[in-house]
Structure 1
Amino acid sequence: MTKKPVVAILGATGAVGQEFIRLIEEREFPYSKLKLLASIRSAGKKMMVNGTEYTIEEARPESFDGVDIGLFAGGSISKTLGPEAAKRGCIVIDNSSAFRMDPAVPLVVPEVNPEDIAWHNGIIANPNCSTIIMLMALKPIHDVSPIKKIIVSTYQAVSGAGKEGIDELKEETEAYLKGEEMHPKILPSKSLHKHYPIAFNLIPHIDVFLENDYTKEEMKMVNETHKILHDTAIAISPTTVRVPVFRSHAESIQVETEAALTVEAVRRAIDQFPGAQVLDNPDKMEYPMPLYTSEKYDCYVGRIRKDIYNPKAINLWVSGDQIRKGAALNALQIAEYMLAHDMIK
């Protein structure tokens, strides 16, 4: 990567924005200038990046003048500032859901469909975290034999609800252990009129319910998978569940393929896929767990086994860090890919 772009991070003070900064430092992402942007509430705060102190600026359309890459942490502001940034020549890599299903916007997991980056018009969308982690396990299988059907249940960390979700789990756990009353305000969704504690609990409800009785989060997995794999014929049945885990998602998946595959072929395909690792030793009680996949770059896959009744189905378990691969890392990898392929002018 010879070019050093001007980079702006929108939402620099939130959980994903903070992860952008950590990853830029860890991966030595090149930049000639860095701008940290947030809402007016955070403007004026100081933050250190690579030993240099930066002042948080209020995010405005003109903030993106002269910026090459905009790393958007997500949120409703993307809808307004995304097009404004793109208009000014900035390539926006956006973590919100605002542009994911826009047919003019590529929806990209770099290991899965990097070729789609080429047709962007200034905005590239990061998929939903649960979709990314699922496809890191399923794309290598899809490459061996096309996927026909997916049944998936997610076990999603509170980091998916942002810093507020993480704080809520901490506060509720402390209150519960002290015998005090818990006061949920965030989950299952901040926008809803009713909230439930997540400490020592599971909530089978993420985002709002739609007319078909699936949640918006569940339908994201359906629609985004179809778009990323360019195949709307794949049958997908999702159930998304919030669990009292801080930052790493897990998913139980049954995948049916066109041809019957052996467990050995599936293991080999996943292990050879960049960003995925097999951790599957039942005899040694080794399998992926959120506590141990947190802070990791890769997604880990285990419990790989043939379905008992369907000869063309494989059951597996995957876990990956929601804030990293499910959000900030995926977006930064898109930027790295574009730099490596000379796609930043």
Structure 2
Amino acid sequence: MAGNSLDPKTAKNRFKGRIDIFQEIETLALSEQPPVLLLYGGRRTGKTSALKYLPYRIGSDIVPLLVDLQGAASATTLKGLAENLAQQIIEAARRLPRTVNLPYPDANKLAEDPFPALQTWFTEIKRSNRGKQFLLCLDEYERLDEVVKATSSRAPLNFIRNLLQHQRKWILLFSGSQELSELDDYWSDYLINTRALRMTYLQESEARDLIQQPVENFRDIYEPTAVDAIIQITRCQPYLVQLVCYELVELLNRDIRRNRREADTAKATAQDVKEVIPIVLERSDQYFRELWRSLADSDRSLLRRLIHGETPTQQDKGVVRKLTRKEILTQEGNAFQVPLVQKYIEQLLEEE
């Protein structure tokens, strides 16, 4: 299955890998002076799924509370934002494998002055849960920009700074697709001592596990060359791996129904992988278009030139570095990291 984030209660063991990320988060959270954590990476690399599985992958001394700022950012007032944050935190605590029941903040104080009321509430939570470290995970953190602009107030960011300075039992983890250097300059005033954790491609062993054992007791349906082909064209990008596998399963099922293959012995081949590529590009059109739209004109210009066989020049060094960080080009700047990305852009340029 490709696309939606995984819920541990229903998806069970379907989430693969990321052990290094979980270990680093736990180590940093338990350090004497925990930094602000920034979990960043491209769209659909599994950041939200990883945060949902975090309570099941780290020790019980840390209480991860996941807040979706994409939903919270729909608030048009500071009161609405504060209420949404409080509600999400309470619900996240209830969903933990070791349930934590948090009190509601004072509704009158929240209405009167939202973020000082939240500060008081956070202090109460800390006092009633001694020995615990609370890890506040703010997913889609870039959406706070929208709130700042909609309310013409930096109160939410001032609240975050106060939390960092005065609440030692509260640790902040921001998750998103942008590094801090890509945000407006004022963010640097609020987020200091930040430790970046990159959510990149799966390791090859993790990708092979995802392909061959997506669920328990999954039958062996791939020729070895097919698995190698999936690894090669996706570069172990988890969403693309899942999507290619989904389309291969659909292809096998169609062939079985048409009696071209026996159900018990049907296996996907490297040729089958090639056959589903056009379908994969069509189904993932939104993913690739979002990637293309996120690029600056100078980025697109270089990619066009590469597609047409040109070589990057000395003047392209800055753009190459940027596209390497975004995991689009290799460090040399003369090749795409993910062959499927190259195929999509080639197709896009043909249509222009």
Q: TM-score, normalised to structure 1's length?
A: 0.34
- Compare the two structures and name the one with the higher helix fraction: 2
User: Radius of gyration: which is bigger?
Assistant: 2
